[in-house]
Chain A
Amino acid sequence: MPEPATPLLRPPRHRVDPRARRWWTLQALLTLSGPMLLIALVMAVLSILFFPGALPWLGPLLLVVLVVPAVGYLLVMPRWRYAVHAWELGGRAVYAAGGWFWQKRRIAPLSRVQTVDTVRGPLQRRYGLATVTVTTASTAGDIKIAGLSDADAEELSRRIGEAAQDVPGDAA
């Protein structure tokens, strides 16, 4: 590098609530892993009941195609996400990191903030979590911070709202 110092983007300061891991696990179980395991179970049972001859090849196939990916997703995704997801409210901008396999870090200036939404889904409510969505005039600039604790979410949306009012806006 020709410059003496290369600026690097550091991760946002604050992690999301640790309970988010449980929420993501439950979510994975309901949407992807659960159905996959259920299908594997049903197929295995059907095979044992009606086609015992198919088990020697169907068993390993189910294991590789359904069971291992389902369990892997269930175990890996929430931890990975928790390691990645983070947020920070700076003096001029909101900064959030998200994703797990494909990761995104997004920075949006407070002067462009249009609305701040706090959403609590049925699963999130169980764990006392919330998702804060900060919208800007561009859909590619909307920031979503998932897995905050209720108190953090309230505090954050209040502070973003205040900060956005302080900074002279050009959101329109």
Chain B
Amino acid sequence: MSAPRDPGTPGLAPTASGTSPTAHPDAPPSAPATAPPTSTAPWRRLDPRTLLVHCGWMGAPLASLALTALATGGRITTGAWITLAAIAASFAVVTTLGLIRWARTEFRVTADTLEVRSGLLNRRLRSVPLRRIRTVDLTASPLHRLLGVTVLRAGTAGSGDGGSELSLEALTVAEADRLRAELLARAEAEGAADDPVVARISWRWLRYAPLTFWVVGGVFVVAGSVYRALDGMGIEPWKLGFVQRAFAEFGASALWLTVPAALLVVLALGSVGAIALYVENWWHYSLEWTDARSLRVRRGLFTTRSVTIEGTRLRGVLLREPLLLRAGGGALVRAVAGGLGNREENRKRSGLLPPAPRTEALRVASGALRAAFPEAEPLTGHPRAALRRRRTRGLLFVVVPGAAVLAGLGVAFTPVLLHCAWIYAAVTTPVVWWLARDAYRSLGHGIRGAYLVARSGTFSRDTLALQRSAIAAWTFSTSPFTRRSGLVTLTAAVAAGEDGYRVRDLAAEAAPGFAAAVTPGLLDEFLVHRQG
């Protein structure tokens, strides 16, 4: 990007690592008041403890080996020796590579760029203008925390290709905090907000933790992982005596009692797991404006996470109400912000509020927007065709296939399944009808001041408030079915969050007018006015 600079130029003040002294209360007073020439900022190294972190991968195989040794009564088999040798060899290779990488990776902050150079043979210099840095994220895994280091990631604006991120692994916590301040110095305070703290954790919110769909699924995922781990250690659970006994007794006793009991156990386990996850993810949670322009989320028990979003990169807020959580009167809040990484990373980092009471969620959403979350007034509804579409889809994808399969099997094998078929149809049809109705009632869109507001969904009712000025493109999507029923789905492209946000199933004749009203002037030359 930029020409490599001479790194050998002696620095003026060795401890003044940054070059904007105003951002550094800890900068020595001898630092010059004006920004020094950019090439004089000294190169800095990562923390050597990084090397230890890289050895962390050995934990799992070593532990598994130890367990195997325990299970076999201390006898180490030939296979185990081979594994041990492989681990030792990998350790040597990884440590050598890590040492080289550590020795050859340097970074510095100049007046307007963050520069990282790395590589053994191909020296690579990457420099990112500070003004393009959108978020700074400090993440420390338990291992990192044990060693007192943390990983710093600086996310920049980019075309969502994932290649627009610089990560420094790893720095001491103090160093990382200082570097974050330097990187975000551009967003220097113009005056503190009235109340910088938007929200803190309240453990009464824990009651919302089990209200997710993953309660039951999580139990099976964990069971599967445990099974695989045991299998990897050479233990076959199905051959253990007590498992077989329990299984035999389970089958022999009264099923009407044991099946619900087993379900209850799964639910209880799932709830405990959900609460544990909630605690691990949201321990010490706080959301605050660190200065007038940076919003910071801090959370985490074992893995601590601190995500700082520069205010100008915060393009909107998403209020999510998954079905169960909504039934319990709760909601959660996510940020729509640029530079949080790819879809998966964005999902992990964009959380502004865990499942919490809806009023709290609205308050936090408003706090993040620094304007009332535009939800109070009713939104413009969508045409009835959207309701028909939802019903048809439900019937076509849920009721008909299930009933058809059951009926087919019934005709082929046993008439009992024929009864199952009509019972299935009779039960699922009202459920589908209700869900379709609910999904239709969720649909809505409108313009509230500087924000586009759109709501949709039943399994997760999402209300989006998106800055109108952030919209980078409009897409009108149709299929033959929606064209016939006069509907169109409008997608607003933004360089933030999930990139595209949809307003589903608008009336086809209302959509262009709405899009034109949201972004005045953009569509005008492509519109024709029909006398109506």
Q: Which residues of chain B from 474 to 532 have any CB-CB distance to chain A below 8 Å in the complex?
A: 474-480, 483, 491, 493-496, 499-500, 509-513, 516, 521-523, 525-532
Main secondary structure of the interface of B (DSSP, over half): mixed
Name the residue on A nearest B492 (C-beta).
Answer: A140
| A84 and B158 alpha carbons, distance in the complex (Å) | 31
A143 within 8 A of B: yes
CB distance from B404 to the nearest CB of A (A): 18
B92 within 8 A of A: no
Q: Which listed residue (B480, B494, B496, B522) contacts A109, Cβ 8 A?
A: B522
Q: Is the CB of B473 within 8 A of A136?
A: yes
B160 within 8 A of A: yes
Among A23-31, A38-46, A85-93, the stretch that binds chain B is: A85-93
Q: Is the CB of A6 within 8 A of B529?
A: yes
Q: Is the CB of A6 within 8 A of B509?
A: yes
A121 within 8 A of B: no
Q: Is the CB of A140 within 8 A of B157?
A: no
CB distance from B390 to the nearest CB of A (A): 18
Please give the number of chain B residues whose Cβ is less than 8 angstroms from any Cβ of chain A in the complex: 41
Name the residue on B nearest A139 (C-beta).
Answer: B160
Q: Is the CB of B472 within 8 A of A136?
A: yes
Please give the number of chain A residues whose Cβ is less than 8 angstroms from any Cβ of chain B in the complex: 37
| A172 and B525 alpha carbons, distance in the complex (Å) | 25
**A6 touching B530 in the complex, CB below 8 Å, given contacts A93-B522, A101-B480, A135-B159:** yes
Q: Is the CB of B472 within 8 A of A6?
A: no
Q: Which residues of chain A from 89 to 115 have any CB-CB distance to chain B below 8 Å in the complex?
A: 90-93, 95, 101-109, 112, 114
CB distance from A136 to the nearest CB of B (A): 5
Q: Is the CB of B474 within 8 A of A106?
A: yes
Q: Is the CB of A5 within 8 A of B480?
A: no
Q: Is the CB of B159 within 8 A of A6?
A: no
Q: Is the CB of B532 within 8 A of A140?
A: no
Question: Given the complex, which residues of A lie within 8 Å of B500, measured CB to CB?
Answer: 138-141
| A34 and B348 alpha carbons, distance in the complex (Å) | 44
Question: Given the complex, which residues of B lie within 8 Å of A7, measured CB to CB?
Answer: 512-513, 516, 527-530
A168 within 8 A of B: no
A1 within 8 A of B: yes
B180 within 8 A of A: no
- Interface residue ranges, A against B (CB under 8 Å): 1, 3-10, 12, 88, 90-93, 95, 101-109, 112, 114, 135-143, 172
